Amino acid sequence: MSGVKFKHEIRLDLDLIVDFSEGKIERRLQSAVFRDCRILKTDLDLLGVLICGGDIAAAGCYPDAIELEKEMRDKVRQFDLPQTRNPLDECVAFFFEMIPPGGQMLIFARGFELS
């Protein structure tokens, strides 16, 4: 498995709040590109996302993708193809929680770029 490229990219177009002061909100359109993705887990209520304007309530980056995978999914352990090491050891995990009842999204990828 070493050196295997996952070959999948996920791109999210974001309208980010980059500054908030004196009642003014400054926004910037940016794209987040997740490279060499291994896992995408979504639990989205699309009507909830629509009602809440698609806003993200919380997001985070977890350098220990293996630990987060164990807590949130625990499926790599059940993967039945031969592997000599955990394929997530080179990945970073990203967690997005939408404004309720929108749901959440997990992305496990080797690379990330914000542009």
Grade residue 20 by pLDDT with cuts at 50, 70 and 90: confident
Rounded to whole angstroms, how far apart are CA atoms 104 and 81? Answer: 28
State if pTM tops 0.85. Answer: no
- Looking up tokens 């699309």 gives 46
Tally of CB atoms within 10 A around 48: 15
Q: Is the pLDDT assigned to residue 95 strictly greater than 70?
A: yes
pLDDT in tens, 27-86: 899 999 999 998 898 999 999 989 988 889 999 998 888 888 887 766 655 555 556 666
